Amino acid sequence: MDAPKILNIGIDFGSSACMVVADNGVRATVPSCVGFPKDLISRRLIGKEYLCGDDAITNQLSCTLYYPLEGGVLKYSDHSRENLVEYQHIVWVAQILFRHLIHIATEGKPEDYIIRVCVGTPVLADMKNKQALIDLIGPIVGGAQIISEAFAVAYGMNFLDNSLVIDIGDEAVDLCRMHGVYPKMEDLLTTYKACNYIDNVFYESLEAKYPNSKSTINMLRTLNEGHIATSDPGQKIMLTLPVNGKPVQVDLTDDLRLACRSIVPDMAEAIKQLVSTYDPEFQEELKRNVILAGEGSQINGLCEELEKCMVESLGSGHVVKVTDPVYAGANGALTYCTDLPEEYWAELLCA
């Protein structure tokens, strides 16, 4: 009988979605939620004890949905002693979600592989949070590494020297300054106005203008796809909202643009801090190599907005976005997972 093959998996943990890639060619985006039937009727309708990802969202009226991740780490892991019952429940839900990701990556046959996983988390996730993830993953896989999401992007795209990688996620914007070695704490910064903040600003704006629309943030998040903009694109953004139950087309150009711009000042200040504290001999090169990744990097005009801020505060700047912003973190985690020498897999590690 043939020995099980090694399968390397890279995962980008997000509060609303997880990206998973594997060296068998699997590549998937999975909503970070698990749904449990609300009552006997919903249990009979669904026919399962729980649903994961898209299935949970599709059946959200019949399910109680749980999102176990908060900023890429387990909810309540910062204060698990004070919220022991909630934390234990979240660990159980998160394990269900993680097993679902492994099921997808292995195409339903986890028993056929020795599974090694590299998981990307926020750059400032402390060791307690990382250890919580290791404890979660440990019983399910053969080996695991925890690295920062921004570092994963930098490693996967080979931006390893004199570059500033910015990963714009759901709840946080992670910045990682690379200079040819593993980044230290002084190379890392996090701001907390990210994609969810944009959604909230946009939602509040629409509630004020269209109080009878009865829209939800999840609806607006879906409507926003492909329309987010910070600069003047030369065309209006028209979306359909249910107003008093009737679909109505409304012009949301200014509302959405202002919501997207709301994250720029904090990002610009973080860039300024990391550039101004860098070795003066290499600051100019660092300013020429600012790279955006993550869901928020797809905002139209964001590169130009940040460049304007850099010119004002630092004299110059050049910002680009990665070609595959959604999967750049997971791809980098997979590359790192594949490159690690065999001796690193002797035990579960945090990196």
Residue 77 lies in a domain: yes
* Whether residue 346 is found in the same domain as residue 229: no
Rounded distance between C-alpha atoms, residue 10 and residue 335, angstroms: 8
Residue 184 lies in a domain: no
Rounded to 10°, the helix 195-209/217-224 angle is 110
H or E stretch at 330: helix 328-339
Taking the mean position of all CA atoms in its chain, how far away is CA 155? 17
Rounded distance between C-alpha atoms, residue 158 and residue 280, angstroms: 23
Residues 24 and 134 sit within 8 Å (Cβ to Cβ): no
Q: Choose the final residue of a domain: 222, 244, 261.
A: 261
* Whether residue 15 is found in the same domain as residue 110: yes
Residue 291 lies in a domain: no
State the pTM of this model: 0.83
Residues 173 and 270 sit within 8 Å (Cβ to Cβ): yes
Rounded distance between C-alpha atoms, residue 264 and residue 312, angstroms: 13
Question: What is the side-by-side order of every strand in the sheet holding 17-22?
Answer: 27-31, 17-22, 5-12, 113-121, 143-148, 349-350
Total number of domains constituting the chain: 2
Structure tokens at 213: 């629309």
Q: Choose the final residue of a domain: 245, 261, 277.
A: 261
* Whether residue 122 is found in the same domain as residue 239: no
CB atoms within 10 A of CB 121: 25
Q: Choose the final residue of a domain: 237, 261, 285.
A: 261
Residue 288 lies in a domain: no
Q: Give whole-number Cα distances, 10 to 22, 221, 226, in Å.
A: 6, 25, 26
Residue 76 lies in a domain: yes
Residue 98 lies in a domain: yes
Q: Are strands 51-52 and 17-22 parallel, antiparallel or unpaired?
A: unpaired
- Tell me the helix, strand and coil percentages in the chain, rounded to 5: 45, 25, 30
Residue 42 lies in a domain: yes
* Whether residue 131 is found in the same domain as residue 208: no
Residue 137 lies in a domain: yes
* Whether residue 14 is found in the same domain as residue 82: yes
Domain that holds residue 24: 5-154+328-350
Burial class (CB in 10 A: 0-12, 13-18, 19+), 65: middle
pLDDT at 125: 66
Structure tokens at 135: 């404890």
Q: What residue ranges in the chain does DSSP mark as E strands?
A: 5-12, 17-22, 27-31, 34-37, 51-52, 63-66, 69-70, 73-74, 113-121, 143-148, 161-168, 173-179, 188-191, 238-243, 246-251, 290-293, 319-321, 349-350
* Whether residue 23 is found in the same domain as residue 94: yes
* Whether residue 37 is found in the same domain as residue 93: yes
* Whether residue 139 is found in the same domain as residue 206: no
Look up the CATH number of the domain holding residue 247: 3.30.420.40
* Whether residue 16 is found in the same domain as residue 148: yes
Q: Which amino acid is at 240?
A: T
* Whether residue 134 is found in the same domain as residue 246: no
Q: Which residues does residue 65 pair with via DSSP β-bridges, in sequence order?
A: 35
pLDDT at 231: 45
pLDDT at 346: 60
282 contact partners, CB below 8 Å, separation of at least 6: 162, 179
* Whether residue 33 is found in the same domain as residue 96: yes
What is the number of helices (H) and of strands (E) in the chain? 12, 18
How many residues would you count in the chain? Answer: 351
* Whether residue 120 is found in the same domain as residue 229: no
Q: Which amino acid is at 125?
A: A
Counting as low any pLDDT under 50, the low residues of the chain are 226, 229, 231, 348-351
